[in-house]
Each structure stands twice: as structure tokens, then as C-alpha cells.
Amino acid sequence: MALIKKILFSLVLSTLLIFGGCSAGQESKLIGVWVRTPMDALPEEFPQEYWEFTSDNDILKYEITDLEQNLLTVGRWGFSKRNKLNISKFDIGFNGEWDVVYFKNDVMRMVLKVYNAENQPAGQVLVEFTRSRSNF
């Protein structure tokens, strides 16, 4: 019985170490400026939108036009215990727990499940980004 307890303790501890390290690694990869890819419009129809994830867990949303850059909103970000990207105090429609479904080669795709007033699934928001090579 003592051997089983030791094995279970070792498994739980190693799982915590493995999964605990994942979100910290993801956090450092996320920090920086990301260009939001408009998926439902031609590029010239909308100004470019940049999201900046800071090391202080602020998220800043900018609109970039040919003439200026405008700070549109500021929020907070962080990873939950379930390893989901939690965005709060941000734009309407973007707050909540996001699933990061793709994060590779400077491309990131995130999905937010949307619920209606009765807390029934009502759809999803899919957002895609590419990492900016400049700090605009």
C-alpha cells in the first residue's frame, strides 16, 4: 500500500511540474505585438489592428492607419489553471477563456466559445494573428 501511495504521489508531482511549466512557457512566447488577421474582409477594407501582450499581463489593442496609431482599449490577460488564455477588461466580445488552438511559427489562432442569455452555446469567435516583426 505504501508503494502505491509513493507511485501516485510521484505521478501527481510530475504531472504538476509538466503542466505547470507549459503555461509559463506559453506566456513568454505570447509577449509581444501581434497583427490581427482580418478573415472576413479584404485587407484594404479595415485598418490594421495590433494586439500587444505585455510582460505585466496588460493587453493593448491598437488601430493602425497610414497616418496614425490609436489605442482603442486596454485589458488584462493570463493563463488559467486549465491552460486557457483568460482575457478580461477588454473589448466587448473578446473577454473570456480562449482556447489557443494553434501556436507555431509566429502564427496564433484562438477560439472563444460564445453563450446566449440562457447559457446555451451560441457560436464561436475565431481570431488569427501573426507576430509583428516591428514595434510599429
Residues 12-41 have a mean pLDDT of: 65
Residue range 23-45: mean pLDDT, rounded: 78
- Three-state DSSP at 116 gives coil
Q: Per-residue confidence at 64, pLDDT binned at 50, 70, 90?
A: confident
Confidence of residue 133 (pLDDT cuts 50, 70, 90): confident
User: Confidence band (pLDDT; 50, 70, 90) for 32?
Assistant: very high
Q: CB–CB of 127/34 below 8 Å?
A: no
Torsion angle (degrees, nearest 10) of CA 17, 23, 27, 28: 30
Q: Can you give the pTM of this predicted structure? A: 0.73
15: pLDDT strictly greater than 60: no
Answer yes or no: are the C-beta atoms of 84 and 97 closer than 8 Å.
yes
Instruction: Give the tens place of pLDDT for each residue, 74-132.
Output: 999 999 888 899 999 998 788 999 999 999 989 999 999 988 889 898 999 899 999 98
Question: 63 pairs with which residues across the strands?
Answer: 49, 70
Q: What is the pLDDT of residue 6?
A: 40
Q: What is the pLDDT of residue 42?
A: 67
Domains and CATH numbers, the chain: 2-131 (2.40.128.20)
